[in-house]
Structure 1
Amino acid sequence: METNPPMRTVWRGAVTFGMVVLPVRLVSATEAHRGRFREIHHRDGGRIRHKRVCEMEGTAQEIPYGDVGRAVELPDGRLVPITDEDLERLPLPTKHTAEVLGFVPGTDIDPISYGRAYYAAPDGPAADRPYVLLTEALARTGYVGICKIALRQRERLGVLRPRRGVLVLQTLLWADEVREPGDLGPSVPVTDREMQLAEQLLSALTGIEMRQLEDEYGHALEQLVAAKTVGSEVPELPAPQPAVDLLDALEQSVEAARRSRE
């Protein structure tokens, strides 16, 4: 599998399932749209700068990034330095091995648990056959593999799934990291007619081309910046208001959706 040059390897090790060992390397599968805001001082508009300083030496001298380390803070406030060498000696099997603990139907995974996605590329010629075998077996069965992996200084659950002939390893939240909704959802009755129309509306709006959707925030921000530089205002779009008559709104929505598909 070929990857683009900017794709940097973030983890190298082996995926194991049963007695099969599959050497892989992980690269980020997604990239976020970068924000363009800077911090400024409200009073005079000056740029705010953040500096690395040592609280024991005062705030005058900025610490070079190469001199910055990491530590774990104890309950009494003491700091225990932790080096890269210490982390390499960490007695954790998942540092270099992502053992598949079992397989479950992909539909069993609640999407709320999904975290970052990484492409898992075969690492060396010996990995090619088991890589293709696992990828195709998952695609045919609809199963995904559940594993544990130490990634970015944390141990995480992960799910292995196929995507367009490539294995994706996507991190999962631990069960205790997902909050229960409690009583956030309302409990009110709806009529059979309202439910019927809602189902018709969903059916009429089925199908969407995701590749055609674009992030419009950047364009709107450009319009705002351009307007502010010349002292003009950008017209504010009105916020949608809840329908007074839900049944009437549903009927109009179904009719409009049908016309748009004709």
Structure 2
Amino acid sequence: MLSRPLARGGSAVLTVRMRAIWKGALTFGLVNVPVKVYSAIEDHDVPLHQVHASDGGRIRYQRVCELDGEVVPYAEIDKAYDDGERTVVLTADDIASLPAERSREIEVVEFVPSDQIDLLTLDRPYYLEPDSSSPKAYVLLRTTLEQTDRTAVVRFSLRQKTRLAALRVRGEVLVLQTLLWADEVREASFSALDEPVKISAKELELSAALVESFSSDFDPSEFVDEYQQELRTLIDAKLEKGDALDTAETFGAEAHVDAGGEVIDLMAALTASVERSRAARAEAEKAAPATKRKRPEAS
């Protein structure tokens, strides 16, 4: 496992272990480099979910068949392709039979000058860790890429998709960054840019001076997500003020969730929710004045 430092709010640096999401071999020519693959990024957004505004009850989504109205367990769900007239159902066995998904190779297709990789095509990044008793082949490839200023274009399969990726060096680690396919990048054509525009020397001089006044060396650590920081501050303030609901009472002690996000004991959760709602309504009606408890006559 790779480890990475984690610092938050100026606190001490903690070490967090990253879990490999894939194992395979990086191959170029007759060289075979066993590697482990780790996601290089993570979402830092504060996790929010939906609740019922009146009582704070958790809103959950179910997989319901539109033909019979029944809730379908995840294990009974297949994938399908619909062309508008016909539907082709693909079972788990069908997907598993595809040869690309069985491949555990990251195949180097070619080595290209690094400046030929269009930044627009860069997608998700992954770290590669050597997965053998000796990292010599790994270090050799890393050093070669650095000294030749080349980026390796590779092809591999991950999560039922064939992917194209750029293999490059970041520090002492090889980074695999998936690339968008050529037909996934739209061509930009704007009629407003078809007309000739005249820019004076003075305008260009002033614009360059403005750029120079903002010039600096880029340090990504200087930038923070202010919205997420303020959201955390808001949540902490509500917690400190006592403006929070007890999670066990709100979501029901019987409603446990498995790894797939489905409610295991659905009937118990529904029964508890209905009883709690009825009790709350009865209490509200008792507390309300008699005049308010009477329903208005229909006009």
Partner of residue 98 from structure 1, selected from 96, 103, 106:
106
Taking structure 1 as the reference length, the TM-score comes to 0.73
Q: Kindly state the Cα deviation for residue 202 of structure 1 after the two structures are TM-superposed.
A: 2.4
Q: Percent identity?
A: 38
Partner of residue 77 from structure 1, selected from 59, 83, 86:
86
User: Could you tell me how far apart the structure 2 residues matched to 1:12 and 1:29 are?
Assistant: 15
Kept in 2, the 8 Å contact 1:94–1:148? The answer is no
Q: Kindly state the Cα deviation for residue 129 of structure 1 after the two structures are TM-superposed.
A: 0.7
Deviation track 1:9-55 (CA, whole Å, cap 9, x = no partner) reads 22211111121111112110001223544346789987542112233
Consecutive unaligned residues of structure 2, counting only runs of 5 or more, are: 5-15, 242-299
In structure 1, the residue matched to 2:220 is 210
CA 1:203 to 1:105, structure 2 compared with 1: closer, same or farther past 3 Å?
farther
Q: Which amino acid aligns with 2:30?
A: M
Kept in 2, the 8 Å contact 1:146–1:159? The answer is yes
User: Could you tell me how far apart the structure 2 residues matched to 1:184 and 1:142 are?
Assistant: 38
In structure 2, the residue matched to 1:174 is 181
Is 1:114 equivalent to 2:122 in the alignment?
yes
Taking structure 2 as the reference length, the TM-score comes to 0.65
User: Could you tell me how far apart the structure 2 residues matched to 1:184 and 1:33 are?
Assistant: 39
In structure 1, the residue matched to 2:27 is 16
Give secondary structure in 2 for the equivalent of 1:182.
coil
Kept in 2, the 8 Å contact 1:12–1:26? The answer is yes
RMSD across aligned positions (CA): 3.0
Deviation track 1:103-129 (CA, whole Å, cap 9, x = no partner) reads 111111111101100001111214x11
CA 1:211 to 1:193, structure 2 compared with 1: closer, same or farther past 3 Å?
same
Return the index of the structure with the highest Cα Rg.
2
Q: Which amino acid aligns with 1:12?
A: K
In structure 2, the residue matched to 1:197 is 206
Give secondary structure in 2 for the equivalent of 1:55.
coil
Q: Which amino acid aligns with 2:38?
A: V
1:130-169 superposed matches below 5 A: 130-169=137-176
User: Could you tell me how far apart the structure 2 residues matched to 1:222 and 1:26 are?
Assistant: 31
Consecutive unaligned residues of structure 1, counting only runs of 5 or more, are: 231-262
Kept in 1, the 8 Å contact 2:101–2:160? The answer is no
Q: Kindly state the Cα deviation for residue 167 of structure 1 after the two structures are TM-superposed.
A: 0.3
Query: Which moves more between the two structures, 115-124 or 210-219?
Result: 210-219
